[in-house]
Amino acid sequence: MVKIIRINRKYFILLILLILISNLYTLTFLSHTYLNIDDDSYISDQITTDPISLKSSSTIESWNITKEETKDTTDFIANMPSVRPDGDLYIAQIAIDDDTTISTIPSGWTQIENLYYGGTGPVRFATYWKIGISEPATYTWSSSLPVLWIGAILRISRFDLNNPIHTSDVSIGKSAFPTAPSVNTMINNCLILRMFGADNDEIDPTYWPSGTTPIFQKDLGFNSIISAAAYHNQS
C-alpha cells in the first residue's frame, strides 16, 4: 500500500510519452499513478513526468546524476553515463529552480517536453533524447538567466531506432495527488520510466509510485529543487 500524504499549495505538470520498439502489439492504456510526497506548506511547485515506454527486453543500463548547487549559473554541464555505447538511447531530464527559459540545448539532442510553472516558487522541467554516436563525457544546457540546476542522463538499450519516441501527453494542475495522464499505445510488454522534478526538497523517502523500482532521488537542499526517476515493466 502506498501512503500519499496531503500537500498544500502544490502545482503539478505531468507528462507521459512512449518510446517505440519493434514488434508492435496491442496495449489499451497506461494507468494513472501517484507519487509519495510529504506535507509541507512551503513547497510551491512540482513537475512530474511519466514518460518512456519500451518493450520488456529493453533495459535501463545506467545513469548519471549532476547537481549544480554551489552557485547560480547560466550553464549546466550534465555528466553522461560512464559507459556510452553507440546506438543506445539516452534520455536527459533537466530541472531548474525557476521558470527561466532554457535557451540552448546541446547539438544532437531532441526535446521531448519543456514545461514550467511560473507561480510562487517557480520550477521548469525538460526532457530530451538522442541516439548515441561517439558520445562525449558531458553535455551543456544553457539558460537565459542564472539558476540552480539538477538533472540526469539515462542510457537505455533495445528500442526502435527508426522511431524511438512514439507519443507524449501532458496534464497541468493543482492537486495533493499528482497523477500521470493515460496514453494509448500499440506496444505490449513495456518498460515505463517516470521522471519527477519539484521546487523545494520535501518528498517522502519512498517517493516512487507503488509497483515501480526507484532509480534515483537527488535534491539541492532546503527551499531548492529535487529530481527523481523510477520505472516498472508493463505486462
In the prediction, which pLDDT does 30 show? 29
Give the residue extent of every domain in the chain: 11-233
pLDDT value at residue 181: 63
Position 62 scores a pLDDT of: 63
Residue 68: the pLDDT is 57
Per-residue confidence (pLDDT) for residue 143, from 0 to 100: 92
Mean pLDDT of the residues in the chain: 68
In the predicted structure, residue 132 carries a pLDDT above the cut 50: yes
User: What value does the mean pLDDT take over residues 48-64?
Assistant: 50
- DSSP letters spanning the chain: -------SS-EEEEEEEEE--SS---B------B------TT---EEEE---EEETT-EEEEEEEEEEEEEEEEEEEEEPPS---TT-EEEEEEEESS---EEE--TT-EEEEEEEE-SSS-EEEEEEEEE-SS--SEEEEEEEEEEEEEEEEEEEES--TT--EEEEEEEEEE-SS-BPPP--BS--SEEEEEEEEEESS---SS-SPTT-EEEEEEE-STTSEEEEEEEEE--
pLDDT digits (tens, 9 = 90+) for 1-25: 332 322 233 333 445 444 444 322 2
Q: At 186, is the pLDDT very low, low, confident or very high (cuts 50, 70, 90)? A: low
